[in-house]
Structures are given as C-alpha cells and as structure tokens.
Amino acid sequence: MSILDWLILIGTLLAMILYGLYQSKGQQSSDSYIMAGRQMPWYTVLLGIMATQASAITFLSGPGQAYSDGMRFVQYYFGLPLAMIVIAAVFVPLFRKMNVYTAYEYLDQRFDQKTRLLTGILFLFSRGVSTGISVYAPAIILSSILDINIYLTNVLVGGLLIIYTYMGGAKAIAQTQKIQFSIILLSMAFAGYLIVNALPKDVNFQEALFLAGKSGKLNVITTNFDPRDKYNIWSGLIGGFFLALSYFGTDQSQVGRYISAKDTKESRLGLLLNGFVKIPMQFLILLLGALLFSFYSFQKAPITFNTKAETLAAQQASVAYQNLKVEYNLLTERNKELSANIVALKGTPNPVSLQKNLDELRQTQKQIEDNRADFQKIIKSNNIQAEANDTNYIFLHFVKNYMPMGMVGLLFAVVFLASWGSISAALNALASSSFLDFHKLVVKRGSFTPREELKWVRWHTLGWGVFSILVAMLATKMSASLIEVVNALGSVFYGVILGVFLVAFFIKRIKGTSVFIAALIGQVIIVVIYIYDLVGFLWLNLIGALLVIGIAFIIEEILRNKRIEKV
Amino acid sequence: MDHNMQEKNGERRYWSRWYVLLLVWLVLLIVFFYWFTQFYK
C-alpha cells in the first residue's frame, strides 16, 4: 500500500474518533448515554439500524459469496421487510408505551424478573461472544493482507472505537454511524464503478453480466426446497423472517437504536425504510462479486485470494503446491481464452460455436473449482497457519492489486468503519443490558444517582470492550470449525428469545413461570438440534420460537389444572 | 372521545398504507430477481 493510502486510512480513522469524541460532549446521565436522550430523527435511526447490522464481514463476504456461490445469498434477506412490518406494528408501540430502556425490561413488566434475567443472560452470552468474533473476523483478514500482527489488528479493530463509545454512548454512536455508513455506501458505489472500469476494453457491463450469468453467478432466486440448504426463497422468506424478527425485535443492539428515536413515528419510519433499502443494497453488494468473477475470468484468478496462504504453502508444501499450480495455470489460461471467445461470439449469428465454448468454459470452471478445493486441502493437511477459505479475501485482493492509489486506503478504512459501526452499537447494548438488567436490579436496586449511573454504564462499556477483544485474541488460537460454531451462536439463542417475546405480545393467558420453563426446555432442544446438524441454521429461529410457544402452552395448562385442584 | 377515535383510525390507515407499500415492493423485487435469474441463466 502506498504512503497516500496509509495517510487516507489513518486520517479517516483518526477523524472518526475525534468526531465521536466531539459528539460525546454533554453526557450527564445514563438516560442520555443509553437512549441518546430519545431525540433521534428517522434518518439517524435508519442509518443506525443499517450500520449496526452491516459489519465489515457483510461488505467482504458479500462479494466473495457471489464470486464463489452466486448471488442466491440475497434471498437470506427476503423475510426482513416482513419482519419490519411486524416490529413497526406490534413491537415498537409496546416498547414505547412501557417506556423501557432495554427489551428485556419489558419482560419484567409483562412476566417476572426471572424471565427478564434468563433472556438477558442468553442475549449477553451470545452477543458478547459474537461481538468478539466480529472483531476477529475482519482483523484476521486485515492482518493477512496488510501483514500486521493479528494481536495488534484485533486491538485496532476492536479497541479504538471504545474511546468514543465509552465517552459518548448512544449519541456518539448514532452520529458516527451516520457518517460511517455514508462513507461506506459512497465508497462501495465508487468501487463498483471502478470494477466495471477495470474490465478489458472490449468487454462492457452487459457482457460482464452475460459471462457471470452463464457461469451460474447470477442465480438470485432458487426455488428448490431443502431444509439443509442455507439459501433458497423458502428459507429466505420463512427462516429469514424469523431471524430478522428475532434480531431486530429482541436484540438490544437493534432495539436500542429505534427506541432512542424521538417518537413512535420516527422509530417506525426508520424500520420500514430499512425494509425498503436493505434487499437492493445487498443485491448491489453481491453484484460486485459477480462482476469481480467476470473480471478475474480475463485476468487469471489466483489459486487463492489469501496471498499469505499461497506464500506459506509454497514454502511448507512445495511439491504438492507446485504440481497443483502447473495444472491450475493451464486451466486459467484456457479459461481466459474461452471467456474472450464467448464475449466475442455473443450477439453473432453463430449459436453452435457459442454453445461449444460455453460447455467447455463450464467444464474448465469446474476443474478450477476442484483445484482451488485441493489447494485448501493442502493448507489444512499441512497445518499451515493461514485461512484456507478465501471467500472473504476476494474483494480486498482486488482492492489492493487493481484499485487506484488513494481508493485502496479509503476501502481499507471502510472495513474499519463498518466494524466500528456494528461493534460500538453492540457494546452499548451489552453495557445497557448488563447494567440495567443485572447490576442495577440485582446488586443495588434503584439507589444510584444519575451521575453514578453514568459512571457505571461507562465501566460496563469498557468491560465489554475489553471482553470482546479478549474473545478475539482467543479466537486466534481456535480452529476454523470452532469459529464457525461460535459464529452460529446467534441463531442458537435467538429463536428461544423470540419465542418468549411472541408469548409476551400475543398470548396474554400465559404467565411468567410457564414461559420461563418453556424457554429452558426449548433452549436445550435447540442445542441438540444444532449439535446433530438436523436443519440449516436459518430454521433454528423458527423452531426455537415455536418450541417456546408450544411448551409454554402445555405448562400453563398443567399449572392451571394444579391451581384448580388445590382450590 | 370521537375525535380521539378518528385520530387513531387515521393513524392506523396511514401506517397500513406503508405496510402495503412495503409488501408490494417486496413482491416487485422478487419478480425482478426472478426475471434477472432467468434472463442471465
């Protein structure tokens, strides 16, 4: 990376910290620190919701996912607009009517304290650990590409944002997220333009799409129903609906964003507009990956986009690597020729020749995929200390090697800003919940002055910040499969939490004890289903919620009958 | 009382329009994506 790129990267990050500190002024109580004084307009809510959901991995794995698996990942978001409607219509008015600070506080008013504590614990555990992983995930990529020590990268990704998150709480987070997300969107749009611009001179946008489509990368809708398949229209609409309902409706890092709005109208507008823009945004991010696929068809894609892995493989498994590389080079050379032939033949009255080239292209692409998979096996079987799966490296590989000076620094800054946006909201949510749902409730009920409260929530913020960095440090020692397990934690707990909230909102006859026992039993069953890998993870949310509702019904009936017997 | 009820109904209608609009948007997106998938297949 050039000096100009480093200057832009460091300058953007410093400016963001200073802006966050500027927005931190005037914090007097925990109310302004947790709720931003409940003064946020709809557009701040909208950008806050989007910036909280979109972590660095969203922008890195999106293009990578489209490159390797096609664009069908976008179906994962189909349930989101439906969830936005339910949350705007049902959740928002109730949260606002009860004037709660955390979602779990509502459960105390509707059920009892033990249910509030149980859901709070499930949230703190899953969100705490996953925040650590969202520090580690971009850190390992940046560390590999920029050749910086992973421990230092963890601190840069997870540590610097603590400065303004600690000082300014929700207000500083909302204001920085607004700027961060605007920079991210503009930079990604410009990156898209540069990708199209980087295509060979005789290949235009339409032809790049044609090639990507014929290579199976523009498969946005897949209609096959397979419960183990992650992304199809059914899992997206049904599973995605329950996932979005759990995430936006019960995860404090999102609830905290929209209940800090000025009034119900602003909260609703922020949520509904998120429903309008999220899918098109995700579609465009994935389209970048499909275009990158076409770009690399003319450029000879590397055997892995994680350059560090290739360097280490060349040193540590030199014979296997060299043999594979010879075959791979021949394949990519042929792939390049075929891609050029196909673009040249498109639109000419020679369908037989075009089809012949297309058939051979697909065959070559399949062999290239097999070669890339063999390379990953070399990495794993030789215990080489580098990520074998290179999906998340694809976009940054292009940025580093083909983007103009200045833009490289800006796009690396985007990775940091995207991380900071979601991690800062998570820290604020974790601190709010651990202070209000536990510390204040259990340790010293109601006897804090506003200043003391502010001091304590800040300590909690700092504590969770350090915790997430520690998890990220531990993750550097974990195996890839263990990290996948940790990553799926959200889905393991979300369904049960959602079930508790759905009972609270819609089934008035069920009381605290029944839902509490149902949540415990439901959680055990979900863990078993997850361990035995019985269904795709998107379905766990639906199953978890249904289990809690069903079991709570049964227990409520049993308890009622017992009460009647006693009378 | 009547005035309050009218206001509530008006608000309900206002938000219902938003919800319907969002549903229509989702359907249009899915139709577009389906066409896109078939067109570039």
Asked whether the beta carbons of residue B30 and residue A221 sit closer than 8 angstroms, the reply is: yes
Inter-axis angle of helices A113-146 and A150-198, nearest 10: 70
Handedness of CA A101, A104, A108, A113 (dihedral sign): negative
Q: Quick one: tokens of A522? A: 């439901």
Domain boundaries, chain A: 11-296+401-487, 307-386, 488-567
Nearest C-alpha neighbor of B20 from the set A460, A338, A89, A302: A89
Beta carbons of B37 and A78 less than 8 Å apart: no
Interchain pair A218, B25: CB under 8 A: no
CATH superfamily assigned to domain A11-296+401-487: Sodium/glucose cotransporter (1.20.1730.10)
Q: Which residues of A touch B33 (CB under 8 A)?
A: 74, 220-221, 283
Can you tell me the distance from the alpha carbon of A544 to that of A242, in angstroms, rounded to the nearest whole number? 10
Partners of residue B28 in chain A, C-beta under 8 Å: none
Closest Cβ–Cβ partner in A213, A233, A272 for B22: A272
- Interchain proximity B25–A88, CB inside 8 Å: no
Chain A interface residues facing chain B, Cβ-Cβ under 8 Å? 74, 78, 81-82, 84-85, 88-89, 209-210, 212-214, 218-221, 233, 268, 272, 275-276, 279-280, 283
Q: Angle CA(A512)–CA(A517)–CA(A523) in degrees, nearest 5?
A: 125
Q: What is the pLDDT of residue A487?
A: 62
Within 8 A of B37 by CB-CB distance, chain A residues are: 218-221
Closest-CA residue in chain B for A269? Answer: B18
CA distance A85 to chain B (A): 6
Q: What's the pLDDT at A543? A: 92
Predicted ipTM of the assembly: 0.93
The three-state secondary structure class of A40 is strand
Coil/strand/helix, residue A222: coil
For residue A69, the tally of other CB atoms under 10 A from its CB is 17
Surface of B (1-41) touching A: CB under 8 A = 15, 18-19, 22-23, 25-26, 29-30, 33-34, 36-37, 39-41
For chains A and B, what is the number of CB pairs under 8 angstroms?
54
pLDDT digit string (tens) for B3-32?
778 888 888 889 999 999 999 999 999 999
Residues of chain A under the 70 pLDDT cut: 227-229, 444-446, 479-487, 567
